[in-house]
Structure 1
């Protein structure tokens, strides 16, 4: 899917001005879905369980895929592993969170931030300089190559068709990340950061998990992040006693539709203090 996304984008940039704008509109939902799926599922799984045994092939894939996301995959990995390390933590006494993508980072009165501002501002708050400060010497070349690929993609699209870049690439980039952070928000909203078995939410619907590589098993993923996505249901079975022994959020709807589940409810993380 990521290779198809790249090829489609290149083809669209070349042919964009040969079609009427109304005809180009048909490609918005498809490319928005591809971008979202890439960030939420493909790249997410790649940083945890890389596709290849060869480091060279994995590095090449990360470079190519960075052009799809217009953001370095190595930076994605640093941000995401930071999230796993600190688990959507609450603000400390200084009003700071260790998890840079925590839903509590910009919240007030100990609650999560509003979902709209969280999703709308998340990509604008993204600080790539943090990754440059944290990378090892071994990773530095990889990050620079991925940044260079992102820059080449942007310059290439601008040279081929500035209209394509302005009216297609930028909106898909922004709203693609918006939807990614929307899913991330409800994968943690209402959960209890202090409880290892309830610091994320889960959704066990078969259709969503079939289409999205068991992304609904998010609590299980946090407990065993390096387990391949196909084995997440087994993680639930292995830890069923602990998981069923706590009060935790199990979404009736997939995380991108989590607002339906939480409609009219008090935030779980504020009113519950389950011990583990």
Structure 2
């Protein structure tokens, strides 16, 4: 009998727990500033990867048992800065239900005047407002809001204890990497939708078929498929993408790990001409 809903989650969960344990080892054993700073620099890239899997978990929980889902959310939060149900409220509800309406989208890429935000502007906006927007959305979902608040308080309590034990190690092993990972997550999501002003679901997302990109993001490159079936497990997205690929405009599909400004701008211009 397995506790997992899907076997594909075995490896991501094992790696997540491994990094969580390494953080604890560094926290309790590092005696010098250079040691924790070095670990922060080395660890930020793999930690940012788990932001994608935290996202997947909050779309479709990893385990069959609720208690295990709450427990795995503790290392997810310590590593990514994303606490339990933050992405459910901000992203699953606030974004997925409204991503084609920039007046309601909690990950909106338009300014109040309707102009396209820059990458940094968008990333900073999502990063700095993510918890506040989750609270606003949570008012309509009291059951999920309750879990969000309880788990956020538990996380805050754990972080407080770590700071009492060793504030310097807590800062560089936990707090700063959490903040950086959340910011980088927001930055990378800019290229999912920015500039695609449409009411057609097949024309509202950029798709990346690069194999390495999809390995480290859990197939988030198949973004149209993800939006069409947001409860579909991440391991099944490539297959579903193939079934709908012919409906997605060619300029919205690329195979580069980094899409780049020029590629993005060119795709947006094509979309604008098509819409006109």
- What TM-score does the superposition give when structure 2 sets the normalisation length? 0.82
RMSD: 2.6
Give the corresponding residue for 1:124: 128
Alignment of 1:1-276 (within 5 A): 1-16=15-30, 18-19=31-32, 21-39=33-51, 41-81=52-92, 82-90=94-102, 97-104=103-110, 106=111, 108=113, 110-126=114-130, 127=132, 128-136=134-142, 138-243=143-248, 246=249, 248-254=251-257, 257-262=258-263, 265=266, 267-268=268-269, 271-274=272-275
SS in 1 for 2:123: helix
Alignment size in residue pairs: 259
Displacement of 1:220 after TM fit?
1.5
Change (3 A) 1:193 1:133: same
Change (3 A) 1:157 1:261: farther
Displacement of 1:45 after TM fit?
1.2
SS in 1 for 2:193: coil
SS in 2 for 1:52: coil
Displacement of 1:64 after TM fit?
4.9
Bigger mean CA offset, 76-85 vs 127-136: 127-136
CA distance in 2, matches of 1:189, 1:164: 37
Contact 2:27-2:169 at 8 Å conserved across structures: yes
Contact 1:36-1:179 at 8 Å conserved across structures: yes
Change (3 A) 1:217 1:129: same
- What TM-score does the superposition give when structure 1 sets the normalisation length? 0.82
Displacement of 1:187 after TM fit?
1.3
